[in-house]
Structures are given as structure tokens and as C-alpha cells.
Structure 1
Amino acid sequence: MRKFIKRGRMTILGNRGAVMQRSNETNGKRIFRTQGQREPRPGAALQARRWLQTFPFRNRLPKTDRRVGVWGKWTTVGLAAMATSVICGANSALAIDYVVYSPLVVRGEKEVEYRSYYNLDNRPEINGQQGYRLAVGAGLTDFWYSDIYGNFTKGYGDGLKAQGVEWENRFQLAPQGKYWLDMGFLSEIEYRFQANAPYEVSVGPLLEKQIGGTVTTLNLLLEKTFGNNANSGVEFEYKARLRYLLKRALSPAVEAYGSPGYIGRFVPVEAQRHQIGPALYGTMRTGPSQVFSYSGAALFGLTKASPDLTLVLRMEYEFY
């Protein structure tokens, strides 16, 4: 995310998850900020990192302290939201969330978001699978961001169906740059519309580190179902992204998503879902305090259980 800060006013450009910072000591300076699903083929991430690092780091993210607002009454509300997410919870196999979350939260940001994916595969039961997510969200405090999602899917032999609703909360655990690693926490609850479908909760840490012109983000999530037809185990899922801060309009990245199965009883590798592929990110200012953000990815399956190719599209309209 890039933002231009001047004394008394500021313009913000970027994706959700970027940090809003007010400073009267950076008059006229430009500060670059970045925003805020399975195991890659050995060496792929390292090769991508080395390739990106051959480019000059034209934009560097200085480590600056961000003013942390008073938690006040919002602390109790935020912790209650986290606790509720841990207790309650529902994704289906189709409703895969192809997004890597940054731990950074922007106070006062409001957004309307669209996300979708489309599977291409030789197997008819996988080819043409689609998923869509529509959301509204807001940065309620300096450390708490909350979203409400509507999920829609289209499976083999089915039309487009409303899958369920989801409440998502992200918590930033410390000001950006205070520690070597920026850390956050994600909690999600989903309620499915299908009869006798279980609830599901997803929780886990959000980690991010910037080195020069590259930003590495990692999500490590645990998923558990409750209620009717619930599974007995806890499923592990990871999401990762390596992004190079090239230009505001177009920044290249590599994304990886995967799940080896339930903790303590991982399935054989070929039965696991692992995908990796290139991605592009960009932002466009549409007003003094309005930003249109977009990103897309082409994810290639690394195992037999993964789709051959998944096309991902994400769009956000953000205002302050």
C-alpha cells in the first residue's frame, strides 16, 4: 500500500490490511505500505524469492511506529468476538477462501469486497466448480477488523447456490514494526444454509515480515466443525504469499494454499490439496479517501486431489 502523508491531511492507497498512520513529522515524504490456501513444490518459494530479488528495491518500507489508539470499551467487545469465534463455527469443501490475510488493521476503513474462483480440470466433478464471496467490513479499532460474508458455490451438476454466511474477525497483536515479525490472529464462524450441515470455526495466527522490497505473509489455520455431521478431528490449513513491492498499479506475487488433512492423521500426499501459482496486485485511487483494489491469481495443483488450475479474482472498494 502506498500513501502520501502531508501535514494536516493524508491520501491512502492500497488493499485491506494496510496500516493507517498519522504523523506530523513526515511532511512531504512518501511512505510505502503493503496490505492486508497448500504446500508448494520443494524449492518453488525459494526460487520465486530469488527471482523477485533480482529487481531493484525502488520502494522500501521504513519501520515507523504507529500511534496505537485507546482500546477502551472496544477491547471487551473485540475479545468477546474472538471468544465467540473460538466457541462457535462452516466452510464446505467447495467454499475455499483463496486469500492470504495480513495481520495489519486500518482503523476507520470501510469496504465492500468481492472474491471468486473457478476450477479447470479434466475431471468433470471438479471442472467448472465455482465459489463467490461478497462482504462488507470495517476497521473498528486500531487492533480489530470485522467482516460479514455471504458465500455462494456451484458444484458438479448443480446451479449456483447460497452456501452460508460468515463472520470474520482479524486482530492485530502489536503496532507494525514493534517486533521483528508483525503478528495477528484470525477467527471465523460460518453458518451453512443446508439442512443438517455443521458449523465450522477457523482460528490461527497471521504472520508478516518485510525484507527490502519483498513482503512475506503466512496464515496457519485450524478448522473444527460442530453440530450435526461434524468431523471428529481438527484440520490444518496454510496460506502463504511472497509479494514484491514494484508499483502501486501492479505488484507481482506468488501464492500457495494447502491442507494436509486432520492433525494427527494426515492423509497420503497425493490425497492432500496443495496449490501454488503467480498473482498480481494493484490499487487505484477513485477519490480523496476512496481506493479500488484488485488482485488475481492462477494456482496450479501439485497433487492429484488438487484442481489442475484455479483462477482467482478479488476486488475491494475501500473508503475512510
Structure 2
Amino acid sequence: MALAAIAFIGGCAVRAEAEDLKIRSPIIEAGEVEFENNFVFGRGKTTVHELEYGLTSWFKPGIELELAADPGQGLHYDATALEGFFQLTPQGKYWADLGIFAEYEQTGRTGDPRSLKIGPMIQKEVQLPGLSMLSTANVFLTKDMGAGSVGTPGLFVAAQSRLRLDPHFEPGVEYYGIVSLGEHGEEPQHRLGPAIAGRIGFREFGIDAPGGIKYDAAYLRRISGAADPSTFRFRFELEFPL
């Protein structure tokens, strides 16, 4: 469902930035701290470390630190970002769960532009015979700002659909792309591949505490464009009530 809609939008997709290869959910847990670590490996590599807190049932701020490395080089500081998640609908009340995501990023490289990203997060769970399928879609407007800004605005799109077989293991598929909104956009590009996700509670490790560890991973193949032929991403997140 989500993948079909996003693949249509991605018909003129351009370069998908490695640090953005993750799926964002509109659901917020009030009072919960989340420490997230996202690793992306292609020709180069990117690591993103993020701290988020569910301030209310509808607002979650976050701060993000990005490290990156070109092929054959070591990791270096790349950027810092401030984020905000806004949950617009109560979970499960309407046809789909809806939220808004906004991010301001300040690069660490001299002369590079700042950037802004904003757009909806949509999530829908569908009941199937004997199991359910969870689909999530992100559609974000992206715009560089400042003296170093070049190129046209874009529309970053990401989608994931997965079968909820077991809380510890949910297999699925992911798609990423960027739609050019100007006349001189980059070469179209698509990425698609299998994914898995799950959650393990701290008590399952013998730790008598609420919270747990979430994980998700995907192996993405280039469908078109100048992206890396293959990319592997892995994310794990520690979550606990404060």
C-alpha cells in the first residue's frame, strides 16, 4: 500500500542521501526517552546518533549528530540537526495515523548550505488472515538555504511495509527516493530492498526495568540513477520512560 503510492511519487526520484535512509513513525510515547543509532554502509559510510524525548502525547523534540566518511576515509563530523515530531491523530482512531516531521540541519563543512526538511508521516495497520501488515510512508519537502545553496527543492520519499509475524521479527520491504521539484533536477533514482524490524524488552534480557531495544535493517539495491549499487543500513534504539 504505502510502497505502491511512494513508488508512483518517486517516478522522477533523484539522489537519496545516505543519512536519511530510515523510516520515521508518527506515533509518540509521552515521557519516553529514545537514543537512536543509525548506520549506513555503501561506497562511503554514515552514522547518525540521535536523542529524542516524548515531551507530550503530540510533540517529540530531538537532536541529531551526523558523522560521515568518503570511500577509503575515516569518519568525521558532518552535521547537527534539530528535529520535531508532531502526532496529529490519536493512534488507531482514524483510517490512518498522521504526523508532521520538521528538521533543521546545520552542516559542519565550510561553504555547504543549511537545510530544511518538513512533511507528513503516515502509518496504517491492515488486518490480514492470521496476521497484520504495518505500512509507513514519509513524504518530506527538502530545501537548502544560505549562500551555498544550489539546485532546486526536492521531495524526499521513504516507505516501509512489514508483516507483524512476531514482535521480535517482522520482515518487510523498503523504498527510498527524492522527487525533483524544479526544471534542472538530478538524474532519477530509486532504491528498494528487503527489511526486518523488531523489539526486545529489557526484561527479556533479565533486566528488571521498563523499556527495551528496537531494531530495523534493510539491504537496498539501486533500481535506477547514480546511487550506490547496494547499500546496507542498520538502526537500533534504546527506549525507556523517564
Alignment match, 1:250: 169
Alignment match, 1:306: 227
Q: Matched residues in 2 for 1:196 and 1:255: separation? A: 33
Matches within 5 A, 1:95-114: 95-114=18-37
Q: Determine if the alignment matches structure 1 residue 231 to structure 2 residue 150.
A: yes
Q: Determine if the alignment matches structure 1 residue 180 to structure 2 residue 95.
A: yes
> Which among 168, 177, 190 is matched to residue 105 of structure 2?
190
Q: Matched residues in 1 for 2:107 and 2:66: separation? A: 9
Q: Matched residues in 2 for 1:110 and 1:267: separation? A: 38
> Which among 121, 136, 150 is matched to residue 51 of structure 2?
136
Q: Matched residues in 1 for 2:17 and 2:197: separation? A: 24
CA shift, 1:254, in A, is 0.6
Secondary structure of the residue aligned to 2:226 is: coil
Secondary structure of the residue aligned to 1:116 is: strand
> Which among 118, 122, 129 is matched to residue 207 of structure 1?
122
Identity of aligned residues (%): 28
> Which among 214, 218, 226 is matched to residue 137 of structure 2?
218
Higher strand share: 2
CA shift, 1:224, in A, is 0.5
CA shift, 1:94, in A, is 5.2
Secondary structure of the residue aligned to 2:19 is: coil
CA shift, 1:267, in A, is 4.3
CA shift, 1:202, in A, is 0.2
Secondary structure of the residue aligned to 1:247 is: coil
Q: Matched residues in 1 for 2:61 and 2:93: separation? A: 23
| Contact preservation (8 Å) 1:39, 1:259 | no
Q: Provide closer, same or farther for how the CA distance between residues 250 and 260 of structure 1 changes in structure 2, counting only shifts above 3 A.
A: same
| Contact preservation (8 Å) 1:94, 1:131 | no
Alignment match, 1:72: none
| Contact preservation (8 Å) 1:219, 1:238 | yes
AA matched with 1:202: K
| Contact preservation (8 Å) 1:94, 1:130 | no
Aligned residues: 222
CA shift, 1:150, in A, is 0.5
Q: Matched residues in 1 for 2:57 and 2:106: separation? A: 28
CA shift, 1:232, in A, is 5.0
Q: Matched residues in 1 for 2:229 and 2:16: separation? A: 16
AA matched with 1:254: V
Alignment deviations for residues 174-199 of structure 1 (CA, whole Å, 9 cap, x no partner): 11122212110000011111112211
AA matched with 2:34: E
Alignment match, 1:260: 179
Secondary structure of the residue aligned to 1:96 is: helix
> Which among 180, 192, 207 is matched to residue 276 of structure 1?
192
Matches within 5 A, 1:115-134: 115-119=38-42, 127=43, 129-134=44-49
TM-score of the aligned structures, taking structure 1 as reference length: 0.66
CA shift, 1:305, in A, is 1.1
| Contact preservation (8 Å) 2:177, 2:191 | yes
CA shift, 1:274, in A, is 1.0
Alignment match, 2:3: none
Q: Provide closer, same or farther for how the CA distance between residues 154 and 93 of structure 1 changes in structure 2, counting only shifts above 3 A.
A: farther
